[in-house]
A and B are shown apart, each in its own frame.
Chain A
Amino acid sequence: MPTKHLIIDGATASDQWQTIADDISFDGTLDEATLDGKGAIISLARLEAEADTLRQRNTPIGVILRAGEKVGEDPHRLAPFLDMLSLVAIEFPVYRNGRGFSAARILREQYNYKGELRATGDVLYDQWQFMHRCGINAYEIDGDIPLATFTKAMDSLPDAYQPAGDDKRGILWRRS
């Protein structure tokens, strides 16, 4: 496994989350010691099935939204649970699969989701700025990327023509 480098809100960060596979039960094997004070990232299916029990725990809960090939997981399915989620990991299984760009905007703009939106998977240098514009604020990056490289990528385009999920208004809207 290559090392993962985590950048949150423009700064290097240590990961406060663990991904928990569907076959690990929260009641039995997964005690507080295993989680070591970290939050648990679970699948969407598990979230839907166990939300009521999970609400009873103090463990911070996050979910991973899988991009899929033929069909991707629908971000609208997260709506009933957004109040209990403090992280949504958006999967980019290969750089070409850009479903996550739309998922991020739907969560931020249509549901006003304020928690962490983390890009995970095959996240390319030249996509980081676009991800940021769609509302993603955390990046799980393969290898040891200097923070300066990340900052440079974030500035690669000086402006934007269109509004999106960030605070840029878009050239078309600013001229007049």
Chain B
Amino acid sequence: MYRYDEFDNEMVSARVAQFRDQVERRLSGELTEDQFKPLRLMNGVYLQLHAYMLRVAIPYGTLSSRQMRMLAHIARKYDRGYGHFTTRQNIQYNWVALERIPDLLEEIASVEMHAIQTSGNCIRNVTADQYAGAIDEEIEDPRIISEIIRQWSSFHPEFSFLPRKFKIAVTGHKNDRAAIKLHDIGIVITRNGEGEVGYEVHVGGGQGRTPFIAKKMTDFVPRNKLLAYLEAVMRVYNMLGRRDNSYKARIKILVHETGADEMRRLIEAEFAKIDASNMLTLPDKEAQRIMAYFAPPAYETALATSDILQAAQSANKDFTHWCATNVVSHSQTGYAIVNISLKPIGGIPGDATDTQMEAIADCAATYSHDEIRVTHEQNLVLPHVRLDDVKAVYDALVPHDLATPNLGLISDSIACPGLDYCNLANARSIPLAQDISTRFADLHRQHDIGELKIKISGCINACGHHHVGHIGILGVDKKGTEFYQITLGGAADENASLGDITGPAFTEDKVVDAIENLVDTYMNIRTSADERFIDTYRRVGMPPFKERLYAD
């Protein structure tokens, strides 16, 4: 894992001191809420429905056990004993008191964490594949370039007041788990003909009220030129992005209105100028220095199969089910990637209590080379677990309700905070996720249905990613009543697509029935158990689903 040096520590400490001064000026009345707003937003502090919300950055979703213990401590001391892991691999605390935030930031700084650029119209926390450094056939660990981007984009003097927020995601694997085509910039690590590692760059993806899949801008940028290329994209956007209407201010709108070819020409022209100056050419030694932090851990030599694991599976059917959904094969022989579902049946997607966080920290310290990852689907990962230890991890997770065997299944949904917390929402999301999960509580039924990604947003801003759900649900407000619109066929992976609206929206008491109706249709028409919901939808299209859904 990356460790701060004296430069990083100095920058983070300076920011905490600066924010402490700003909060004091606000509390004394020297700053009005209007004047304070841009300052708090640069430090991840939002004013929500009921209280201030603080978002803490988890760069590219990687945590040590020490950091996870700190997050548990913060939940207990400053919040109501829990935190909420987000779709951008961060954590949010919903009940913090403004006057205590400077102390909170000082505490997290002691474990090399911060809340810088987790809000505001700037380059946000960079996200990456949660299986980075652990999955087979990865071209390069995406956290290396993500850390370089994190540093380059931190306190960037030119790009801290962009037209809108700006999100970058990176994958180093052909299977995209970071939803890179739904980001302002999506980066795919690749190799050129000479075998050199470089980057394919996609620009202009996004969700919200006008969703777009990103357009590929270049097939290959070498490692030492990527920052120059990114600076070119950012400058074109900062100069030309619209500022007359916040709904048309994201780079996806600029790419759409300008056209991908013209956008590519503008970026290339700016890139040529920046590149000629050489000022952003990354020194190879610095790249190597950061790369060394992400070297593989000291694995033990182990066999490809584990007698301990096999014996445990024969003895315990629940454990076998959990292994089938939540355990993924590792690039290192004798190891596994273990997914921890934060979607217990009837629970709140992404929430974790202080004691759960500490239990996970203990597991990571004992069994996973001290590493934890956060996924954009709001789950956690222990990336490096010996096959011999998988059962011990399971046994440690079960008492904390952290061993739900539902990864990728219908109850593993993404949901935004919705009307329960958010002052933008039109409808509740969390209770609906809980109702769906309870309706399909029978795990055998869930396993029978197979992979099915439900994503729920409480308003058109699409924080719950409904556009890219196999089944997407969007909360809308019609004359004071909550309605839910359903979309089918979205996907956030390497075959990214946007869902199609089924038809008229459903009332709250009918929407779970509607989801069950869609699932029943799928079960009836799928060619085999291997054909996933999304495959069936792509094969047959909307008509059979729609016909059954609105039959009454």
Contacts and interface: CB of A to CB of B under 8 A. Distances in A.
Interface in A79-130: 95-99, 101-103, 105-106, 109-110, 124, 126-127, 129-130
Given A69-B244, A72-B239, A127-B161, A172 B38 contact: no
A159 B11 contact: yes
Contacts of A163: 279-280
A25 interface: no
Contacts of A156: 14, 18
B400 interface: no
Given A69-B244, A126-B39, A158-B10, A98 B279 contact: no
A162 interface: yes
Contacts of A95: 38, 161
A134 B38 contact: no
Interface string A133-156: 110000000000000000000001
A126 to B, nearest CB: 6
B157 A96 contact: no
Interface stretch (B148-156, B410-418, B445-453): B148-156
A134 B15 contact: no
Interface string A48-83: 000000000000000000011111101000000000
A171 B5 CA distance: 11
Interface stretch (B281-289, B291-299, B327-335): B281-289
B159 A161 contact: no
B286 A98 contact: no
A176 B158 contact: no
A160 B152 CA distance: 9
Given A69-B244, A101-B238, A105-B158, A159 B10 contact: yes
Nearest to B243: A69
B277 interface: yes
A127 to B, nearest CB: 7
B235 interface: yes
**Contact-size category for B:** 35 or more
Interface string B342-364: 00000000000000000000000
Interface in B456-478: none
B154 A161 contact: yes
A160 B239 CA distance: 23
A173 B290 CA distance: 12
B521 interface: no
A98 B243 CA distance: 10
B507 interface: no
Q: Label chain A's interface by main secondary structure.
A: loop
A102 B11 CA distance: 23
B283 A173 contact: yes
A172 B242 CA distance: 31
A157 interface: yes
Interface size grouping (class) on chain A: 35 or more
Contacts of B121: 96, 98
A99 B243 contact: yes
B238 A157 contact: no
Contact of A162 (B8, B156, B162, B242): B156
A172 B11 contact: no
Nearest to B148: A172
B265 interface: no
Contacts of B100: none
A98 B18 CA distance: 21
A106 B243 CA distance: 20
B30 to A, nearest CB: 11
A62 B42 CA distance: 34
A175 B7 contact: yes
A8 interface: no
B379 interface: no
B243 A96 contact: yes
A72 B151 CA distance: 29
Contacts of A35: none
Contacts of A126: 38-39, 42
B437 interface: no
Nearest to A155: B14
A98 B154 contact: no
A43 to B, nearest CB: 19
A129 B158 CA distance: 11
Contact of A97 (B155, B227, B243, B277): B243
Given A102-B235, A158-B14, A164 B158 contact: yes
Nearest to A98: B161
Nearest to A92: B161
B244 A171 contact: no
Contact of B289 (A98, A124, A161, A176): A176
Contacts of A158: 10-11, 14
B510 interface: no
Nearest to B35: A124
A98 to B, nearest CB: 3
A98 B238 contact: yes
B160 interface: yes
A172 B160 contact: no
A173 B282 CA distance: 7
A106 B14 CA distance: 29
B23 to A, nearest CB: 13
27 contacts: A68-B243, A69-B244, A70-B244, A72-B239, A95-B38, A98-B121, A98-B238, A99-B239, A99-B243, A101-B161, A101-B238, A102-B158, A102-B239, A105-B235, A109-B277, A124-B38, A126-B42, A129-B157, A130-B155, A159-B7, A160-B155, A161-B155, A171-B11, A171-B151, A172-B152, A175-B289, A176-B286
Given A70-B244, A133-B158, A162-B151, 4 more contacts: A68-B243, A105-B158, A158-B14, A175-B5
